[in-house]
Amino acid sequence: MNRLFVLFLFLILIVSLNAQSKSITTISGFANDYVGKEVKVFVIEDYLSQMRTQIASSEVEADSTFSMSFYNSQTRKLRLEVDGNYFHIYTQPKAEYELFIESSSPYMSENAKGVEVDFYFLGLDTTDINYKILLFEDFQYSFLQANYNKRTRNSVDFVEKLDTFKIQITEKYKNDTSTFFKKYVKFSVASLDDLAFMGHRNEYEKFDFYIKPETVWYQNDRYMEYILNYYKMYEKQLPQKVNEAFYAAVIKSSPSLAMNALGGDYALKNIRLRELIMLKMLSEVFYTNDYPQTNILTIMDSVSNHAFFSENKVISNNLKHRLLDLVPGTKMPSFGLDINGEKKYRDDFSGKHTYIQFVSKDIQKSINDLPLLRKLQQKYNKHINFVTVLVTDEKDPLLSDATPFIKEHNIAWDLAVLTNKSNVLKKMSVATYPQYLLMDAQGNVVSAPALSPRPNNDYETIELYLMQIKRQYERLEYNQE
């Protein structure tokens, strides 16, 4: 009996190993400018939190080659990183990819970090997902370039051409057997509907045509982009009764009541999708004053352990960790910065609000914000601390003496220079430049990331907040007189 059991386990092991061997993906190639550096491969765990997990790595050899193989059971988008820079490719099981990685973006300094770099495929099978997507994107771009601009987007003519394009796409790919690619194309085309304001489908029609027939494709980036945009700030769009029931469920910290409440919305009948969108809504209202944060975290804890679907368990857990990363109202992580030869720590900035700017020496766009910060510092320095953190490479002489940079940019406030591998950047979740943080007088996070001195797409800047902070301090000073 024991022998039969052992034999049975052995057969299961053989079958399992055989299945895994058929799901191996290999990425190799050349990276001439990265000899001695490590190429890393990450899966995107989910598209809500954007959390990533490393699954493979390879050092670039002296002859500039690298190679790595890893288990890959599905077609998906992966992120590759090398020496602080990154790019994305699609991969499918049993595939082999040969790449040539460029040194950096042609629009950035060759020493820039944290930027998307160019790469090329060295031979690509016509049945590969990357080949299909590249051709489709080129086809779609050609259509938009020929037919879409600000003058035509409201025209009936454009809508008619868009409908014709959709028919052409359907006919062109009707025999394709890749589910991933078909969903990628479908939701790329779905996004084009948002370009036409006259004669395009309304939200219910879009839901019925695009979303309702589908399951949730968690690892299809184009599907997830469409879903996250369709349900953006959806809590505000719920019918009043559904919204009230959802709010009551959150007050009771009950995920089951929240799920039941959301079931009253026409576009949330699918239970898998409903659970996903519930998590999205909770993460969006977390930073408002409308819903208690403790209750939201309690619900996410429950979903992390008892979700109806395993994918949503992962998403809930990831979102919870993401929300607790530099949450407004919590203590800013402890840090130390060398400023003018003096070590300053978080608590040394207490007594005033502190506006921290992170810029990269190799990204001119971030350096261009320095004159804007100078104007703010001149207006608000009595009540607000200003700190610029310059990020550069390990060999930069500015690390030992920042005087040339200070003189060049007329910096009259605190400046610290860090290497791009500094632990401070990890603590502050700084990955792009420029980036800003706002800390209150007690060392608590006010906003992370904070608004920039430069207007965003909604024409907002940080100055309104700084003005309010200034007035608050002035009122306190007046009351103390």
Give the contacts of 273 (CB within 8 A, at least 6 positions apart). 211, 216, 227
- The larger pLDDT score, comparing residue 188 to residue 474, is at 188
Q: Is residue 11 part of a domain?
A: no
Instruction: List, for residues 92-134, the tens digit of each pLDDT value.
Output: 999 999 999 987 655 555 555 567 888 999 989 999 999 999 9
Domain span at residue 281 reads 234-323
**pLDDT reported for residue 162:** 85
pLDDT digits (tens, 9 = 90+) for 290-339: 898 889 999 999 999 999 999 999 999 988 887 776 666 677 888 889 98
What are the phi and psi torsion angles at 63 (to 5°)? -90, 15
What's the distance, CA 378 to chain centroid? 34
* 314 and 407 together in one domain: no
DSSP letters for 410-449: T--SEEEEEETT-HHHHHTT--SSSEEEEE-TTSBEEESS
Task: Count the domains in the chain.
Answer: 4
16 in a structural domain = no
Q: 159 with 285, same domain?
A: no
Would residue 419 count as lying in a domain?
yes
Q: Examine the pLDDT at 371 and tell me if it is beyond 70.
A: yes
The fraction of the chain above a pLDDT of 70, given in percent, is: 88
Distance CA(293)–CA(301), nearest Å, equals 12
Q: How far is CA 185 from CA 128, 153, 176, 222, 409, in A?
A: 15, 21, 11, 8, 48
H/E segment holding residue 369:
none
User: 342 and 474 share a domain?
Assistant: yes
Residue 146 CB contacts under 8 Å (≥ 6 apart), including other chains: none
Total Cβ atoms within 10 A of residue 418: 18
Q: pLDDT over 90 for what percent of the chain?
A: 52
Cβ(208)–Cβ(30) below 8 Å: no
CB 208 within 8 A of CB 184: no
| pLDDT > 70? residue 423 | yes
State pLDDT tens for residues 163-177: 889 899 999 999 999
Per-residue pLDDT reduced to its tens digit, 74-97: 999 999 999 878 899 999 999 999
* In a shared domain, residues 191 and 216: yes
Q: Is residue 330 part of a domain?
A: no
**Are 155 and 284 part of one and the same domain?**
no
Boundary residue ending a domain (230, 263, 290): 230
Domain identity same for 86 and 217: no
Note the residue count of the chain. Answer: 481
CA distance 474 to 179: 62
Instruction: Find the mean pLDDT for residues 266-284.
Output: 94
* Least confident range of 48-57, 420-429, 430-439: 420-429
**What does the pLDDT read at residue 67?**
95
pLDDT value at residue 201 = 62
Q: Has residue 4 been placed in a domain? A: no
**Interatomic CA distance for residues 416 and 337, integer angstroms:** 6
* 366 and 402 share one domain: yes
For residue 6, the model assigns a pLDDT of 57
Are residues 300 and 367 located together in one domain of the fold? no
pLDDT at 15: 47
CATH of the domain at 111: 2.60.40
Give the end of a domain, one of 177, 202, 230.
230
364, 333 Cβ separation under 8 angstroms:
no
The predicted model gives 338-344 an average pLDDT of: 87
pLDDT of residue 158: 80
Say yes or no to pLDDT of 49 above 90.
no
Residue 331 lies in a domain: no
Q: Give yes or no: residues 311 and 342 share one domain.
A: no
Instruction: Tell me whether residue 416 is in a domain.
Output: yes
**416 shares a domain with 374:** yes
- Residues in CB range of 68: below 8 A, 6 or more apart: 26, 27, 28, 39, 41, 56, 57, 58
pLDDT of residue 335: 86
Same domain, 476 and 356: yes
Backbone angles phi, psi at 8, to 5 degrees: -60, -45
* Token reading at 281: 């809504």
Question: 421, 359, 79, 76: which is closest to 224 by C-alpha?
Answer: 76
**Would the pTM of this model clear 0.85, i.e. be above it?**
no
Rounded Cα gap, residues 300 and 278, in angstroms:
10
> Is residue 260 in some structural domain?
yes
- The rounded mean pLDDT for the chain is 86
Is 144 found in the same domain as 63? no
pLDDT of 197 over the 70 cut: no
Hey, what are 19's tokens? 């299945």
Confidence check: pLDDT of 253 > 90: yes
Q: How confident is the model at residue 11 (pLDDT cuts 50, 70, 90)?
A: low
**What count of other Cβ atoms lies within 10 Å of the Cβ of residue 408?**
10
pLDDT tens digit sequence for 426-470: 888 888 899 999 988 888 888 888 888 988 776 788 888 888 888
Q: Which residue among 212, 230, 248 closes a domain?
A: 230
Higher pLDDT residue, 22 or 399?
399
**Any residues with CB less than 8 A from the CB of 147 and at least 6 apart, and which?**
158, 161, 162, 165
